[in-house]
Structure 1
Amino acid sequence: MATSTTTATATGAVKVPPQGGILEGGNPTDYDPKNPLVLFIIQAVIIIVMCRLIHWPLSKIRQPRVIAEVIGGIVLGPSVMGRIPGFTDAIFPTASIPSLNLVANLGLVLFLFLVGLETDLRFLISNWRIALSVSAAGMILPFGLGSAISYGLYHEFHGDPGTKPIEFGTYLLFIGIAMAITAFPVLCRILTELKLLSTRVGVIVLSAGVGNDVVGWILLALCVALVNAGSGITALCVLLVCAGYMLFLTFAFRPLFLRFLEKTGSLQKGPSQSVVALTLLIALASAFFTQVIGVHAIFGGFVIGLICPHEGGFAIKVTEKIEDLVGALFLPLYFTLSGLSTNLGLLDSGIVWAYVVGVIAIAFIAKVAGGAFASRLCGLLWRESFSIGVLMSCKGLVELIVLNIGLQAKILSTRTFTIFVVMALVTTFLTTPLTTWLYPNWYQVKVERWRRGEIDWDGNPVDNNGRNDSVALAKDEMKTIPVRKLLVYLRLDGLSGVCTLAALLSSKRQPLSSRVHPAKMPQQTDQTVEDPITVEEDDAALRVHGVRLMELTDRDSSVMKSSIPSVPSVNGTISPLMAGVSVVPEYSYADTVIGMAQQDTADLLLLPWSETGTLADRQNGLEITGTNRFSNGTYTNFVSDILQRVSGHVGILIEYGPESTKRPPISRTASGMSIQTSLWSRQPSNNRTHHVVLPFFGGDDDRFALRFVMQLARNDQVTATIIQIPSAETKKGATASVTPASSSSAPATSSQSDIAFFETVRDSLPHELADRVVFTQPDVKDSISDSIQMAVLSTREELKHTFNKANNIVVVGRRSVTSEVDFVLEDSIGQDTRQALGALGTAMVQPENKIYGSVLVLQAGTGGLADYYR
């Protein structure tokens, strides 16, 4: 009986967690080893909110998120909030740290897998000479000086609590790695935000960063193997197994993996959920293997990321699947744990602060000096060289990962760990402002112009054989075509019109017979039968540059998209197109396009109008509405900003027609990459005849528009009609007439200079264009008192003569008419859009006016030919 009583008493002593939770008075911050989820959620919420709050002001000065995450950990750790009595025991009790650490390290393995995916070894291969020089110098000098200071660190702090006895050689190797390594992921984001990826500095830094990253992780694996091994023989065996594993992955596993991806269509259509799951399992299995052989698990995840293919955007698509979870949840936990392990209170003596200053100075100066002198020896300018050195000094999250490995391996004490964390924060914080100061945008423009021979080093224009006579220059330009270099803003929803216009400008003589203007053709009822197409050499080489803009977000995949290959030519219908991708914040879109126009010295900047009214790309098959398309929005602001700030010629192409707002929906859902592929592989239209109409009012924009139409007319597949709109003083009784190119009569215009220019173009029309170009004057009826209404009605009447209305192009000057009338301006077109397109351009895209065809709105540059024709 006594035994039963004793047993009951012992059983009653075991406390069962209250099943009612807080309703039974339970404390959610009490750690329960059998159910750690509640406290983990509290910890995760506090960590993520704290990191986001700290990052918000730091993002205004372009600082990477890792700084906020480490500072957040320092604030939550013993340095700040840990000094509040009971805070650490309640929120971060010692018993809960293993659970938090498990989740954080799982995220770390996945993050290193993403780093491997982001590391494109093709950069290293294509620029191996200069990359090898900069990477080697940027590692050898910091490694050497770091080894020197490691002697003092070893003898001063190796006896601190939390360390284990290790040989000085191993300690030296670890400190040298910590000094020499570069944070490649943070470096990519800094280059992208500063818009340096496409510059010479950016390419060199990326190439050297890849090599630095790979060598650094290999050395770290060596260091960990030496620490974990019980003897030198064991360490050698670990290294040999690791080397054999890498060779197996490279030469045996990767070809099989590529064949599997090709067979499943993952490279063409993107990875399915099963393929993503398999890839993650391979990464985790690799992490398991490297951990059990004595190398850290993160190395296994990294090498699997390295061997994943970049063909078909596979690496980007896999990154997009998992980066949000890793970046939003796992990484803040890991780097906050770094902050929790950092105790600034241990920096409590003069000798400790002397080592803090020494470590920062060596890590920064040695890295900058090594990269700068190597770059200078490779032929770069001093500013460029020092910019490369500063960028290579960025430590960031890779440095913190290395330090955490050293802390876990008991190579570093908490004191030395804190010293190096401060160094990592300072060097990472200095990277962006110093690079901006050393390599500003004005200096980049100056160097590019100097290398092209446009200016001397002092900024003075290079003499161009004394051709300063504006009149002589104007006459000479009249004999040439106005657009030889075309810069195109590439959008998926404006691709068809852009390619068509560029093909027409290239003046390819493809048909066997020239086209004849509809007004001069014999009467016939059947549509013209298309002639066979042949291809001859271009009369004038048109250089087409394209820029594709993608929004820079806080995702790593947005940075990776900057490596998307240049856009190929479309089935031979366009001159060779040199295209690139710029990944920038949305507010920098206009700055990027303007900078490209200045850098390329383009004769014309062509902007296709958005189908949705937003800066986001949409496929042409998507259903749109005219109301959204021309309402005030982000795209209107983007175009207006360019029109106000650019100094060269600008064209706005609106693919438009009364039925264009009711397009059939697409039949499948596709990713952005597949949409791009389908658009560029689309077959062009067999009917390549085009009719161009220009209502000519006068002014700089119309003069440039007239010369532009004359260039289009050089193409044998183009016919053109120039409608000279009479001024208000023209008599209302004037009669309509079709004036051939040889006619000597011309209606009066409001400007004598416009008359002279118009007559010069008309009378000097080449004989081969006489059958395809017509000058005409519209009816001037009593009921038509407004010039815009007259231009709209005349254009609509002219377009009735064409067979293929989809290929009509209406060219108008943006500022040729400044008056706005209620007849053409409706509420469906926003006020900002009206100002961007101009009064006449707005009238032409008004659905009620039924202008069948695309509309091209031109604005003459402030420093171009318009200055010579005044």
Structure 2
Amino acid sequence: MVQSVASDSFLTGMNPLSQNISLFLTQMVIIVCTARIIKIFLQYLNQPSVISEVVGGIILGPTALSSIPEFQRNVFPTSSLPLLKLVADIGLILYLFMIGMELDPIKVAKEFKQSAAISLAGIILPFGTGVGVAKLVYDLYGDHSVPFTSFVVFCGVAMSITAFPVLARILTERKLLGTPVGNSTLAAAASDDAIAWSLLVLVVALINNPAEAINALWVFLLVVAWGLFLAFTARPLFIYLINNSESENGATQFNVFVVFIIMAISAFFTQAAGVDAIFGAFLVGLMVPHDKGFAIAMTEKIEDLVLILFLPLYFAYSGLNTRLGTLDDGQTWGVIILIILTACGGKILGCTFASRMAGIPWRESWTIGFLMNTKGLVEIIVLNLGLQAQVISPKIYAMFLIMALITTFMTVPIVSWIYPQSLYLHKGEQPLQDSSLTIAKQPSVLDKMHILICLPSMKVVPAVMNLSQILFTSPKALDVYALRLIELGERMSKVMLANESSHTLQSDPVINILRTFGQLNKKSIKTLMSVSPHSNFSEDIVDAASTMESNLIIFPIEASPTTFPKGWAAVTAKQLWLHVPCPLAFFVDRGFGVSNFAQTEFDTIANPGENQKVFFPFFGTDDDVEAAVILNYMAHAAAIKIFILQLFDPEQDSAGALALAALGSFPNVMIEKTENKTNMAALNRAADFGKKDLIVIAYDKYESPADNDDSIKLYLESQSSASYMIVNKPHYLSTNSASNNTQNSISNILRRRGKKEEKSPVVIA
């Protein structure tokens, strides 16, 4: 029996966009994808994602696409906007809750004394200079039914606010966290935001009570009282729930439920009190404790949904209210330029001179001034509040929106020019001034091998532990530094991780496992941490290696049995090969030590190093000699067997002969000679080594041009199932072979290399 097609189907000719849910889903897809496409282009200019979301909203609005009648009538009809606004407002409430969690009131209170002058100067001066501009804008374009007092206070807040979330991300990406500039700016911005949001509550109260200012004062005091009530009730409750939770970070389902219910109640209260629901959500966010990483865990639970879906919807709705076409005469653009100059001048000059009076040098003071001028999405939220309350007209909204976009857009380029990273990174003996790269005190490097091991993920930990235990068997002095690499990405929680680096170093599971492993082996493993985009990993590794004066960098990455790592890992390896300040070993793990790709439950290794083999085709190059140094440490582990295929003439290479003789003194090292000194000879011998084994190869042989059937690179990447280590010694560290004739052991080479060397400038391409 054939069933009839439902009457409300597009198969019957119905327009799917006539249904509310279908129309909303269509709008959502268009909005989110538009913002993402624009972001692709803006990311090359180092601009925050908020810029792309705002621009996307403007493009979809009446300024561009919605000016086309068919597009506006079918995609963004007027009847659909209330539903879009409701969902956008819910997203905004959640986002302000996240902003509140990003601010730690205890930390702000501790640092207020240090930042008070900068913060107050960044509020008072732009607020004061904005009064004159507010008078001009009010006379020319304002709605005179709106009290001038409300308009002036609103413009003052719009001129003086700083976007803390965007600023925190810029500081993290520019590696300014932990520097005097970063500390001062972040503390001042946190205080600035607290003051600005308080003023904004007063502004909204004045707007909603235009006839009686005393009512506005009572509303303001009521919200302040509500905040104090939350501080004495909600915050102690949250702390109690965290401390009595079985979860490590306290973010159990019940605790999350309690926080969200209190947030909803608080948002309802402030909305009913006559301000806006976002203030209630923001206050509860401030009350969420940062103990045990609870605030970070709460942020992680909601940030993807808010940042990917809700926030673009909010900015798209803002764009639908933006009419840049109304800015159509010279007078208007002259006022816009005046608004920009006033906002930038008041904020930049106020914060700069306050910083200089606090004893900060001029260059750093100007940097703080421009950083504090960042407006970002917080400014746009303020403008939308004014537009919805009808304190500003759509034309004034568009004028101030251009100011917000320009001030945010110019921050990164100008700061990069005024205060380049070369001024606060790579400072020789000085530790890196960067809390996103937290380091221990530098020890003496005399007669010691300093190894920096990178930890990009939990997956590489088993192989790193196995390799470290093998190296620790050497009686020679060995210092191991573990650099935890955490991708920054777009998530607010990652910025919070960078801001709370000391807590992250204590709680990160990757670091804790390796730290415990070192304690069990009675070896000290010093831990470091870097939070940055994947594209900056190589730069962070170079910074750490330069500061710690490392003799060797080991960069491990997990790969499948027959695939070379792609994407960011390959890019990072390429950058490191070009710019490392010391020898580098790129370690591709395919189950070394603990077989991650075992076919059966019995196909494992009981003890690290047991029944494992290391194969080293020795061609006698500088990179080969560097690989021999590493094997000299590994050869002390009697459980492993090292097979060396000699592919050079010792009489022609004294350095290679010296390294070979040193390795040959170990009973578990077997050296094979062959007359066929070609890549094919090495490949034929490598076929005997499996997935539990390790192949060590020199970088220059790995990258050497060869036919497809004679390519070591092709064999290791796509044919062999063994783990492999590519060893590279930078050309400027290479030594003349003749100078090694007087050396009589590989340990002397190590002692010579352990001393401080003259470093060449490090440049990241």
Counterpart check, 1:649 vs 2:583: yes
Alpha carbons of 1:359 and 1:796: their partners in 2 closer, same or farther (altered >3 Å)? same
Selected match of 1:249 from 226, 230, 236: 230
CA contact (8 A) 1:146 1:176 kept: yes
CA contact (8 A) 1:542 1:575 kept: yes
CA contact (8 A) 1:632 1:832 kept: no
Aligned partner of 1:546 in structure 2 is 483
Selected match of 1:701 from 617, 623, 644: 623
Selected match of 2:452 from 480, 486, 490: 486
Provide the rounded CA distance (Å) in 2 between the counterparts of 1:631 and 1:81: 42
CA contact (8 A) 1:356 1:423 kept: yes
Provide the rounded CA distance (Å) in 2 between the counterparts of 1:184 and 1:238: 26
Give how far 1:210 is off.
2.4
1:498 alignment partner AA? V
Task: Tell me the SS of whatever aligns to 1:498.
Answer: helix
Alpha carbons of 1:356 and 1:265: their partners in 2 closer, same or farther (altered >3 Å)? same
Aligned partner of 2:118 in structure 1 is 134
Write the deviation string for residues 171-205 of structure 1: whole angstroms up to 9, x where unpaired. Answer: 33221111111122223343445454565544443
Counterpart check, 1:438 vs 2:428: no
Counterpart check, 1:660 vs 2:595: yes
Aligned partner of 1:8 in structure 2 is none
Give how far 1:334 is off.
2.1
Alpha carbons of 1:21 and 1:449: their partners in 2 closer, same or farther (altered >3 Å)? same
Selected match of 2:573 from 606, 615, 639: 639
CA contact (8 A) 2:108 2:190 kept: yes
Provide the rounded CA distance (Å) in 2 between the counterparts of 1:190 and 1:264: 35
Provide the rounded CA distance (Å) in 2 between the counterparts of 1:665 and 1:223: 68
Alpha carbons of 1:166 and 1:664: their partners in 2 closer, same or farther (altered >3 Å)? farther
Worse-superposed segment, 554-563 or 402-411:
554-563
Write the deviation string for residues 41-70 of structure 1: whole angstroms up to 9, x where unpaired. Answer: 454455445444444433332333333333
CA contact (8 A) 2:618 2:648 kept: no
Write the deviation string for residues 223-263 of structure 1: whole angstroms up to 9, x where unpaired. Answer: 22233346444334333332232222223222222322444
CA contact (8 A) 1:691 1:720 kept: yes
Give how far 1:787 is off.
9.6
Aligned partner of 2:435 in structure 1 is none
1:550 alignment partner AA? E
Provide the rounded CA distance (Å) in 1 between the counterparts of 2:672 and 2:77: 89
Write the deviation string for residues 69-95 of structure 1: whole angstroms up to 9, x where unpaired. Answer: 333433444444555457656655555
Counterpart check, 1:626 vs 2:528: no
Aligned partner of 2:137 in structure 1 is 153
Write the deviation string for residues 335-384 of structure 1: whole angstroms up to 9, x where unpaired. Answer: 22322323334435554333211111111222222333344445555444
Aligned partner of 1:570 in structure 2 is 516
Give how far 1:121 is off.
4.7
CA contact (8 A) 2:54 2:319 kept: yes
Selected match of 1:556 from 486, 492, 497: 492
Give how far 1:298 is off.
0.3
TM-score by length of 1: 0.68
Provide the rounded CA distance (Å) in 2 between the counterparts of 1:820 and 1:78: 58
What percent of counterpart residues are identical?
A: 33
Task: Map 1:719-738 onto structure 2 (within 5 A).
Answer: none
Aligned partner of 1:117 in structure 2 is 101
Alpha carbons of 1:662 and 1:818: their partners in 2 closer, same or farther (altered >3 Å)? closer
How many residues were matched structurally?
704
Task: Map 1:386-535 onto structure 2 (within 5 A).
Answer: 386-445=366-425, 448-449=427-428, 481=447, 483-484=449-450, 486=452, 488-499=454-465
Aligned partner of 2:553 in structure 1 is 605
CA contact (8 A) 1:603 1:649 kept: yes
Counterpart check, 1:107 vs 2:70: no
TM-score by length of 2: 0.77
Provide the rounded CA distance (Å) in 2 between the counterparts of 1:37 and 1:820: 59
CA contact (8 A) 2:619 2:648 kept: no
Counterpart check, 1:831 vs 2:714: yes
Aligned partner of 1:751 in structure 2 is 653
1:866 alignment partner AA? T
Give how far 1:434 is off.
2.2
Give how far 1:826 is off.
10
Task: Map 1:178-193 onto structure 2 (within 5 A).
Answer: 178-193=158-173
Alpha carbons of 1:21 and 1:699: their partners in 2 closer, same or farther (altered >3 Å)? closer
Provide the rounded CA distance (Å) in 1 between the counterparts of 2:669 and 2:308: 65
Alpha carbons of 1:326 and 1:365: their partners in 2 closer, same or farther (altered >3 Å)? same
Give how far 1:112 is off.
0.9
Write the deviation string for residues 261-315 of structure 1: whole angstroms up to 9, x where unpaired. Answer: 444434447543x554443332222110111122211011112222223444443
Provide the rounded CA distance (Å) in 2 between the counterparts of 1:106 and 1:218: 21
Aligned partner of 1:325 in structure 2 is 305
Greater C-alpha radius of gyration: 1
Aligned partner of 1:532 in structure 2 is none
CA contact (8 A) 2:324 2:398 kept: yes
Provide the rounded CA distance (Å) in 1 between the counterparts of 2:37 and 2:613: 58
CA contact (8 A) 1:506 1:540 kept: no
Task: Tell me the SS of whatever aligns to 1:481.
Answer: coil
Greater helix content: 2
Provide the rounded CA distance (Å) in 1 between the counterparts of 2:447 and 2:59: 65
CA RMSD of the aligned region, Å? 4.7
The gaps in structure 2 that reach 5 residues or longer are: 1-5, 433-443, 506-510, 741-765
Task: Map 1:254-273 onto structure 2 (within 5 A).
Answer: 254-268=235-249, 270-272=251-253
